[in-house]
Structure 1
Amino acid sequence: MKQSAIETIGYDRCTGCYGCLNTCPVHGAIEFKLTDEGFYKPFVTNECVHCGYCQEGCPVIKKVNNNQEEDLEVYSCWSKDENIVKISSSGGIFSELAKIYLEDNGIVFGAKWENGEIVHTSISDLKDLKGLQKSKYLQSKIDNSYIKVKEFLKEGKKILFVGTPCEIAALNTIIQHKNLTTVDVVCHGIPSYNIYKKYISEVLKSDYRKIEVNFRNKETGWENYSITYKENERIIQEHLHGQDIWFKGFLADIYLNSPCYNCEFRTIPRFADITLGDFWGVPQELKNINGTSVVTLNSKKGKELFEKIKDKIEYKKTEFEIARRGNPCIYNHKLSKEKREKFFKDFPKKDFITLHKKYFPYPSKASKIINFPRRVLGFIKRRILKIVKGV
């Protein structure tokens, strides 16, 4: 009798990647449900035969990464198609990569909205690409997507699979194939569904299943983007991202999934063939004000795919440390869990606004005045350093 993957690693290390579900040989032995904290994680049922085979799909137990650090290349990029950049969260590079596969009878896996939550799905037609575009700052329900990848590969299909670093690591433990190319994102961590739903219910006074969210509305700018909530095609709330209190709690690391605070998959080399993200802090000479993507090529397969889109994008090679400066989650970035435990103890007992004021409040006017000279000095110092370094 062997332990299941979740019994071996425990819920504090479980990312909710669905690797165990996609390797379990017994139908119904593992089911994914929301935990009390609001994350989809595996629960072993009475159907389990205790074979332990689910451990083979757990990236926390069995890490598979064949990429080499010496293959790493870093670029600042954006699509030459202004419409693609406009409807994308950053520079539209995912769309350009996806088009290569969709125009060649291939399959693209990615995340889309469904009934107020995020699910992974596959598409084979360009008209369905819109659903996979844009950042979605919630956990995606992978379900049996890795099994579907296997089935498509058996049919001779070429596949592009996009996910978070832990999801790509899970896929790597299950499948290695020349026709499978993987893309991960620079991931800050996944926030709790329960907190998100509480916010929608108490603050927006709505049902999360009826809400359509654009977490990256660039009408106010790429760097100063807004978050827009719609119900029945009508905007019910729109804020600059710094003013949205749910998003503020997410960025303050208050209610992320436990393993996200010290992610085991923010490594160099990365687990995916290509990594995509917003190039925050991008130097002016590498920047498109309408959206700039940071792209790391992590394998020879990733470089081969990048060659196929070069005529469709603007790209400028840069150094890894320049990219890492404004995007620390590219590599080995630890987040503070200082407030998390207390927050989740308070969560069932307090309303969202009270939690916001206690754990992630807006700075007071007094503190803004006190900190203003410090921010000015910091800005001057950074400018001097850039001039000295010639950046």
Structure 2
Amino acid sequence: MEIIETMKNISSIENCYGCGVCGAVCGKRIIKLRLNADGFYEPFITDQNICSHCGLCVECCAYVHQERSGNQNEVKSYAAWSKQKEIRQKCSSGGIAYELGKQLLEQGYKACGVRYNVQMQRAEHFIATTPQEYIQSIGSKYIQSYTLEAFQAINRKERYFVTGTPCQIDSFRRYIKKFSVEDHFVLLDFFCHGVPSIHVWTKYLKEIEKKTGKIQYVSWRNKTTEGFDVQNGGEDQKRIKWTESYRICIQGERKGYIAEKVQKDHFYTLFLSNICLGRACYEKCKYKYLSSAADIRIGDLWGKTYQENEEGVNALLTFTAKGQEIVAGLKNCVIDSQTLAVVTEGQLKKNLSTPLLRRKAMVLLKQEGTDLKKVIYLANKWNQIKAIKYYVLHPFLMWCRIKRKMKQ
């Protein structure tokens, strides 16, 4: 008997995906989300005495099931972008997620996407009923989103476009399958790197607020400096190449701040080091490459084919007949059929391994007053360890590296 068949509820689940679907399906409304010690969302039951042990929360939990919930048809792959320059400029890559949401909203759907709540300093799912409201979803958010209130507000009798991480979408697919309402929903996920601990983000913001004052606005992957008073006297608008847009624009009460990956920004350094992701983002992730429960998957289209493009291109995959039909009907967009090799170039194909120094990094992050530089030191140390292991296993490459050094 599988362990899920013996589970009455999610009370014993820890370090899961934190998708919040268990809270949405609970008829008693006794499942909530809270941050665990490592800074990741985790469900808990507020009153075990009220639980009816219906098992719905476990049935809809992607974390406890080995298989994915989606039934993929033939996968079709595209390069895609919005024809509207202002949309493409505001979005992290090609603007396709917004264009999909906008078109479905105009067809009578509601859209459940992610925005950044500056008051609560968190990313959160919300429900938009108009394209204007849905503008809040534009742009990448490189932190875990809080889903519970938005998912609970969804009316299964209505039509929705729901976006999220692959694990969130997998659980959500289980949810709508359970109630036989899949026809009411269009699901979109994206190529996911993993989510870092919220402790990284909160400590990072404290660093920035010393320079800017209380933070009023945050934008990841921003392609322009428009509207940011960086030097107290203002800065001329400057457009950034899409391929160079790993930057965060923050506006504070006193002035703005722009951080770039190439300048070894603390947040991007830790995010890309993989040392502080959720436990489930490593071995428990089932969603790399083409593994998805969504109708549509998007991402940045990296690689050689569009490397000269300065405005942004989306990788776009369809997994179901519904997804293909919606993409085929997209207006105001360029949809360019490409091979999977082109569309998935630069995306993770396999799971990340858990770094040996992750636990030490988490201990540092939880300590009050810890400087992020100490955690970055651990991340750099882990990269050195990986390099040594790699060259031990590949002595010929080590010999080549030594020879290059000697020539220099």
1:222 to 2:242 alignment: yes
- Is 1:289 paired with 2:307? no
Q: Where do 1:272-283 residues align within 5 Å? A: 272-283=294-305
Residue of structure 2 in register with 1:339 after alignment: 357
Q: Residue 386 of structure 1 aligns with which residue? A: none
Which one-letter code corresponds to 2:71 in the other structure? N
Q: Is the 1:19–1:57 Cα contact (8 Å) retained in structure 2?
A: yes
Query: Structure 1 residues 210 and 104, CA, compared in 2 at 3 Å: closer, same or farther?
Result: same
Contact 2:289 2:344 in 1 (8 A): no
Report if the CA contact (8 A) 2:302-2:346 is conserved: yes
CA apart distance, 1:267: 5.9
In the TM superposition, what is the alpha-carbon distance from 1:131 to its structure 2 partner?
0.5
Judged with a 3 Å threshold, the aligned counterparts in structure 2 of structure 1 residues 171 and 207 are, in CA distance, closer, same or farther, namely farther
| Gap change, CA 1:233 and 1:159, over 3 Å in 2 | farther
- 1:218-268: CA deviations, max 9, x gaps? 132211112112113831x21222321111101110111111123123363
**Aligned-pair CA distance for 1:288:** 3.3
> 2:338 maps to which residue?
318
SS in 2 for 1:71: coil
* TM-score normalised according to structure 1 size: 0.83
Structure-2 residue corresponding to 1:385: none
Deviation, 1:104, is: 2.1
Match of residue 20 from structure 2: 18
Assess if the C-alpha contact under 8 Å between 1:117 and 1:209 holds in 2.
Answer: no
Please give the per-residue CA displacement for 1:115-162, whole angstroms capped at 9, x wherever unaligned.
21111111011211220110011111111433433x1x41xx331111
The aligned counterpart of 1:359 is 379
How far off its partner does 1:32 sit?
A: 1.3
Provide the secondary structure at the position in 2 that maps to 1:271: coil
TM-score with structure 2 length normalisation?
A: 0.79
Go from structure 1 to structure 2 and tell me whether the alpha carbon gap of 1:47 and 1:57 turns closer, same or farther (over 3 Å shift). Answer: same
* Farther off after superposition, 260-269 or 132-141: 260-269
Amino acid at match of 2:312: G
CA distances 1:85-127 after superposition (whole Å, capped 9, x unpaired): 0011000101111111222232011001122111111101121
Preserved contact between residue 60 and residue 175 of structure 2 (Cα < 8 Å) = yes
Look up the equivalent residue of 1:67 and give its one-letter code.
N
Does the 8 Å contact 1:118/1:140 carry over to 2? Answer: yes
Give, in whole Å, the separation in 2 of the partners of 1:185 and 1:209. 32
**Cα gap change, 1:95/1:214 in structure 2, threshold over 3 Å: closer, same or farther?**
same
Q: Provide the C-alpha distance between the structure 2 equivalents of 1:186 and 1:86, rounded to a whole number of angstroms.
A: 21
Provide the alpha-carbon RMSD of the alignment. Answer: 2.8
User: 1:20·1:54 contact (CA, 8 Å) conserved in 2?
Assistant: yes
What is the letter of the counterpart of residue 379 of structure 2?
Y
* Bigger mean CA deviation after superposition, 349-358 or 127-136: 349-358
Match 2:261 to one of 235, 241, 257: 241
Number of residue pairs aligned between Structure 1 and Structure 2:
355
Alpha-carbon shift at residue 165 of structure 1 (Å) = 0.3
Unaligned runs of 5+ in 2: 1-5, 225-239, 388-397
* Match among 75, 98, 102 for residue 99 of structure 1: 102
Q: Which 5+ residue runs of structure 1 have no aligned equivalent?
A: 378-391
Structure 2 counterpart of 1:87 = 90
1:213 and 1:335 mapped to 2: Cα distance?
31
% identity of equivalent residues: 25
Partner of residue 136, structure 2: 131
Q: In structure 1, what is the equivalent of residue 227 of structure 2? A: none
1:146 maps onto 2:151 in alignment: yes
* CA deviation map 1:357-380 (0-9, x unaligned): 34348x99xx9xxx9x97xx9xxx
Judge conservation of contact 1:197–1:208 (CA < 8 Å) in 2.
Answer: no
Aligned mates of 2:265, 2:216 — CA distance in 1: 16
Matched, 1:198 2:218: no
Q: 1:208 to 1:278 in 2, by over 3 A?
A: farther
Q: CA deviation at 1:79?
A: 0.9
* Residue type at the aligned position of 1:196: W
Corresponding residue of 2:183 = 178
Q: Per-residue CA shift, 1:306-365, capped at 9, x if unaligned?
A: 0111x421222122233333112xx4433442321121123344322222234348x99x
| Equivalent AA in structure 1 for residue 204 of structure 2 | Y
Q: Which moved more, 1:162-171 or 1:312-321?
A: 312-321
Structure 1 stretches of at least 4 aligned residues deviating more than 4 Å after TM superposition: 206-209
**Distance in 2 of aligned mates of 1:354 and 1:268:** 36
The 10-residue stretch of structure 1 (167-176 or 341-350) with the greater mean CA deviation from structure 2: 341-350
CA contact (8 A) 1:169 1:265 kept: no
Read off the aligned partner of 1:337 and give its amino acid letter.
Answer: P
Q: Which moved more, 1:188-197 or 1:49-58?
A: 49-58
